[in-house]
Amino acid sequence: MTAYQTGLLVILALNVLGAFAVYLPLSAGQLNLGIAGFMAVGAYAAAWLGNEQGWGATAAIAAGGGAAALVACAVAVPILRTHGIYLALATFALGQVITAVFLNLEPVGAAAGYPVTEHIGPAAVLLTTLGVAALVLLLSCTRFALCLTAIRSDAVVADLMGMPVRALKVAAFTLGAAIAGLSGGLYALHYNYVEAQHFGVMLSTYTVLYVLLGGTRSVWGPILGAAFFTLIPELLRASAGWRYAIFALLVILFMAWRPAGLLTGGLRLPWRRRAAEETP
């Protein structure tokens, strides 16, 4: 395998992890537009623990995931008071705040960036991604996943069926953040450099778009979306600017053509209108 192909696989793996991090909360109806903030938490935590505390790569990356989960858990209760578009905007604001904090945090280099001493090779990134993917796929076969879908579909009924809606929502939000943190940790230790600017709005946006394009009603959607939109621009061998322009064009066309995503396409969701009519 050439270095180019390996590099591409690593990017693909990180994108797939990011897509899962968006997918899990989204399967419970939470659109997290600040996922890059949680990636930043994971990246900086792993980098700092490796650099300053002498932690090994595995422990540092795992701690990165844990740190992001902790932050998520701490903000989940107030932030999940909001719903729908308000939640999307609240996570968006949260992502901006987190990135801005790292941009000003002197112990981790602030705006100058933060070099990382511990290093992991591509194999470690790929294996971790495979492990996480296996776990998420397994999770999608459980009642836990069923509960999240039920909450997304109709939270009032889910509550009446006895589901602890609040706790499940927090769990989905936190799990997503943990995966984002893990991917941030892998990123930091693989590229050996972290800068806050990388974890901006656009990273969150691209990650969310992978998931929406793949389809949010199947666990294969985020994998497909991330793979398609990582590999297609590469195959077209486009320059950096055109790469994003083509990506954006595909987003627009796909959303117009298959609003429910590549995988679960064909659903134009007529029930939304019908449900509204049936309400007395």
Partner 1 sequence: MTPLSLSVEGLTKSFGGLSVIRDLSFTVPAGSATALIGPNGAGKSTAFNLITGVYRPDAGRIRLGGKDITGTPSRRRIGLGIARNFQNIRLMPHLSVLENLLVGQHVRAGGLIDLLTPYRLLPKHRWRAEALAALAECGLERHAAERVQGLPYGIRKRIDVVRATLSRPGLLLLDEPAAGLNPTETQALHRHLDMLRARGMTLLIVEHDMHFVGRTCGHVVVLNFGEKIAEGSLAEVQRDPLVREAYLGGMAA
Partner 2 sequence: MIAQQLVNGVMLGAIYMLVAVAFTLAIGILNFLNFSIPGLFMVGGMVTWALLAQGWHWSIAVGAALLAAAFVALLVERLSYRPSRDADPEVPLASALGFLILLENLFVIRYGSDQLSFPALLPDFNWRLGGLVIGGAQLVSLAVAVALVLWLSVLLRRTNTGRRIRAVAESRETAVILGVDVGRLVPQVFVSSAVFTAAGGVLFALNYLQVSATMGEGVGFKGVAAMIIGGMGSIWGAILGGLLIGLAEVLTIGFLGADLVDIAVYGLLLALLILRPEGLLGRPAAREKL
Amino acid at 86: Y
Q: Is 161 in the site for partner 1 (CB under 8 A)?
A: yes
What sign for the dihedral angle of Cα 252, 253, 256, 260? negative
Q: Is 107 in the site for partner 2 (CB under 8 A)?
A: no
Q: Report whether 57 contacts 118 (CB < 8 A).
A: yes
Cβ burial 33-52 (10 Å sphere, 16+ → b, else e): bbbbbbbbbbbbbbbbbbbe
Residue 61: contacted member of partner 1, partner 2, none (CB under 5 to 8 Å, by partner type): none
Question: What is the closest distance, in whole angstroms, from the C-beta atom of residue 56 to partner 2 in the complex?
Answer: 33
Q: Is 94 in the site for partner 2 (CB under 8 A)?
A: yes
Give the three-state DSSP class for 115: strand
Among 56, 74, 97, 137, contact with partner 2 (rule: CB under 8 A)? 97
> Which distant-in-sequence residues (6+ apart) come within 8 Å of 37 by Cβ?
94, 95, 96, 97, 98, 99, 199, 204
Q: Which helix (H) or strand (E) holds 194?
A: strand 193-194
Residue 153: contacted member of partner 1, partner 2, none (CB under 5 to 8 Å, by partner type): partner 1
Residue 89: contacted member of partner 1, partner 2, none (CB under 5 to 8 Å, by partner type): partner 2
Q: How far does Cα 5 stand from its chain's mean position?
A: 23
Q: Which residues bind partner 1 (CB under 8 A)?
A: 138-144, 146-147, 149-150, 153-154, 156-165, 217, 267, 270-271, 275, 278-280
Q: Which residues bind partner 2 (CB under 8 A)?
A: 26, 31, 78-79, 81-82, 84-86, 88-90, 92-94, 96-97, 99-101, 103-104, 111, 156, 201-202, 205, 208-209, 212-213, 216, 239, 241-242, 244-245, 247-249, 251-253, 255-257, 259-260, 268-270, 272-273, 279-280
